[in-house]
Amino acid sequence: MAYTGPFTAGDRVQLTDAKRRHFSITLTPGESFFTHKGEIRHDDIIGADEGTVVESSVGGEYLCFRHLLVDQVLSMPRGAAVIYPKDAAQILVEGDIFPGATVLEAGAGSGAMSSWLLRAVGEHGKVISYEVRQDHLDYAVSNVHNIMGGEPKNWDVRLGDVKEATRETVGEVDRVLLDMLEPWEVLETVRDVLVPGGVFMTYVATVPQLMKVMEGIRELGCFTEPRAWESLVREWKVEGLATRPEHRMNAHTAFLIWARRLADGVTAPRPQRRARR
């Protein structure tokens, strides 16, 4: 699959009609895609530039672009819920996922976050993904292979509990991301495999989970004071005097928790709050 340039055979293309309905096809020479507005020949798209319009056999017009990763994530088959793009972006930036990093992830879910991480660490980095359920792992493997155009050489995917991870089995890792039901149960594992200065992030949906993770991090004493937040995204409708916020928005999906590993034997200064007057 090409990521830029004229369309080639094997590219996954998103067709958009005048009503902003989307249709996805994988370009195959000699094949056709049929809509309620007639036939669209793949050969009419292959070789054309992105952002062009293809016409169906009965005059329907469709705008053609390659699928972005965000499009693939939102439309992928899934067993477990995916980490949505607004939160994935926060994880990549706040977690400082850099080219060449080794990232430990649990669980793999449907493979959405694994795909973002693999893109971010690049060919010289590595992503180690644990998943306890075989059915979820099957979705993750299928989706990641589809997105990456095959089996990524830098993806180490494992069926099992991340509690089993040790420095002997995964080595030292630069970043840890937990998206699981009870992440407070594996904090000692995170402590043991994460390098000093490494970033630890957790994705949890409920307030009780948030509280237990935050308190667990504090009690362990080997991390900085944890931070917690959520991301809210609201689109706007911009049409002259009708400019206003959209009635629907991407509100709460989960809480993000962030902390950094301290050096062995170090106790961080206790956070002090301002005295009330």
Question: Binding site for S-adenosyl-L-methionine, residues?
Answer: 131, 136, 161, 179
- As to burial, measured by CB atoms within 10 angstroms (0-12 exposed, 13-18 middle, 19+ buried), residue 204 is buried
What does the chain come to in residues? 277
Structure tokens at 66: 């390659």
- Tell me which residue of 62, 35, 39, 40 sits closest to 51, measured CA to CA: 62
Residue with tokens 């050969």: 43
Closest CA relative to residue 147, chosen from 5, 12, 29: 12
State residue 74 phi and psi, 5-degree precision: -75, -20
CA 45 – CA 31 distance, rounded (Å):
11
Binding-site residue numbers are 131, 136, 161, 179
| The two three-digit tokens of residue 243, written as one number | 């400019």
CA dist list (Å): 35 to 15, 58, 168: 11, 10, 54
SS3 191: helix
Locate tokens 């180690």: which residue?
A: 128
How far is residue 136's CA from residue 99's CA, in Å, rounded to a whole number? 27
Look up residue 135 and give its amino acid: D
Dmax (CA) for the chain in angstroms is: 77
Distance between CA 270 and CA 177 in Å, rounded? 25
CB 210 within 8 A of CB 244: no
Q: How far apart are CA 218 and CA 43, in angstroms?
A: 60
